[in-house]
Amino acid sequence: MPLCPANRAAAFEAVMMLRCTAPIAARRRVTSAQLDHRMVPDASGVLNEFNQPAPAYRLVRLLAVLDIGSRVEARLHGGRHRFQVYRVIVSPSDGPILRRLFDEAWRSGFLLLCRVSDRSLPRWQQHDRRVLAVTAWRAALMAAGRRRSANLALRLADPDTTSVLVNGARIMGVHTQAQARSGCHLLSVPPSSRLNRLCAATDGDTETLEDAV
């Protein structure tokens, strides 16, 4: 049964959070070849881990929309320099359901954001496209973190995730710059590109954010 618009947006945001998060314990960026394994929980039920509580609890809320029970588990890691890790735990038996939901949301979201033009879409699909653009950037800013110097820069694992964010920013009227680097893709937002439009996507619900962006 196809996902309804609200569930599709929640599942797509969850997928983007998973695709944009680096493995914390290894202190390295997830590679494109590893992405497929991040869409289901491991044998102990760990779906993802973050170094901040906000994205972990956001992912739990998104999973609740999809009728998937989950919880956040906080743990201390490290030796001399201790750091907190926030794990999102689900039932391992929910793995096949999550894979189906995430695969459907990713395929439809990628198609809508990257494979069609605005002019070919009816008004309701243009609305859905804008919603997915907002949710994609909210996920990226929460999961990948806000790295600011003169501009905002995100390190991403693969070109497809980068394309989603580039097109999502364009839909919101924001210019981005993408570069392929060794082992990752660097996506930056110059300070002159109305950065506040993207930062607004990290707060509140999608319905509220549509007015902000």
pLDDT at 193: 62
| Cα torsion angle, 14, 22, 47, 50, sign | negative
Q: Is 2 helix (H, G, I), strand (E, B) or coil?
A: coil
> Which of 113, 129, 109 minimizes the C-alpha distance to 167?
113
Encoded tokens for 47 = 């779906």
pLDDT for 123-179, tens place per residue?
A: 888 888 999 999 999 999 888 865 555 678 888 888 999 999 999 999 888 889 998
Of the pLDDT bands very low, low, confident and very high (cuts 50, 70, 90), residue 25 is very low
Distance, C-alpha 41 to centroid of its chain = 16
| pLDDT mean across residues, the chain | 81
What is the C-alpha to C-alpha distance for residues 170 and 161, in angstroms, rounded to an integer?
A: 14
Q: Is the pLDDT higher at 117 or at 17? A: 17
Helix ranges, 50-202 (H): 53-65, 95-114, 123-143, 159-171, 195-199
The arithmetic mean of pLDDT across residues 89-103, rounded, is 95
Read off the pTM.
0.85
pLDDT at 191: 75
Q: Are 50 and 8 in contact (CB under 8 A)?
A: no
Q: Which domains does the chain have, with CATH numbers?
A: 5-212 (3.10.28.10)
> Which of 150, 157, 161, 142 minimizes the C-alpha distance to 188?
150
- CB neighbour class for 75 (10 Å; exposed up to 12, middle 13-18, buried from 19): exposed
Is residue 48 pLDDT above 80, yes or no?
A: yes
CA distance between the termini of the chain: 31
pLDDT for 183-203, tens place per residue?
A: 788 898 887 666 676 776 556
Residue located via tokens 């779906």:
47
